[in-house]
Amino acid sequence: MTNIILLGPPGAGKGTQARRLVEEWDMVQLSTGDMLKEAIAQGTELGKQVEGIMARGELVTDEIVIGLIEEKLNGDLPGGVIFDGFPRTLAQADALADLLAKMGQRLDAVIEMQVDDDVLVERVTGRSTCGNCGEVYHDVTKPQPADGKCSVCGASDFRRRPDDNEESLRKRLMEYYKKTSPLIGYYYAKGDLTGVNGLADIETVAGDIKKVLDKR
């Protein structure tokens, strides 16, 4: 069982690589947003708390998110976990470390997908995704199929995020660097961090991530 975190700014390719790890390594992608929605839909005790908090327009506490993660880690996770969207802060990183220690587990790797901001802006502003399966396309590097159908699932519902423009992306990058980038120093100091070139082609990035996991 392998537990990892993928770090990197918006558009670095974390989602694409996470999907590959789910398919090829039998890992489970734990998305904070998805866990919150699932808990509400299932009507669990934590889900009822989350629903009430969100109905009041308040932020869900770290304690509740950690509780949801603990529930997931107690389930059937043969290949391990990819933490998606958590931790975002140093306090959350400490809380996750404490939880894993309590459960007799550990974080095997923190992989930073390193990018150049200007190149990233160029990449993201040309990006579109399949609305059905989430496959990512790009106007230059991976155009949508000529027949107008997704090469993975065959759907024809292609979408562009409304905030995939230069101004919005640079604001999102600033938010990332302010709040999340301190985690890079945190995990480097703990000896858990490995960097890969997030701007390489998808296969190369996947191969570099595999090398990191093979060394765990």
Give a three-class secondary structure readout of the chain.
CEEEEEECCCCCCHHHHHHHHHHHHCCEEEEHHHHHHHHHHHCCHHHHHHHHHHHCCCCCCHHHHHHHHHHHHCCCCCCEEEEECCCCCHHHHHHHHHHHHHCCCCCCEEEEEECCHHHHHHHHHCEEEECCCCCEEECCCECCCCCCCCCCCCCCCEECCCCCCHHHHHHHHHHHHHHCCHHHHHHHHCCCEEEEECCCCHHHHHHHHHHHHHCC
Is 172 assigned a catalytic role? yes
Q: Which of 19, 37, 149, 161 is catalytic?
A: 161
Q: Which of 37, 88, 142, 210 is catalytic?
A: 88
Is 88 assigned a catalytic role? yes
Q: Which of 20, 37, 142, 172 is catalytic?
A: 172
Is 160 assigned a catalytic role? no
Is 56 assigned a catalytic role? no
Contact 36, 213 (CB under 8 A): no
Cα dihedral sign for 166, 163, 6, 13?
A: negative
Is 159 assigned a catalytic role? no
Intra-chain end-to-end CA distance of the chain, in Å: 11
Q: Which residues are catalytic?
A: 14, 88, 127, 161, 172
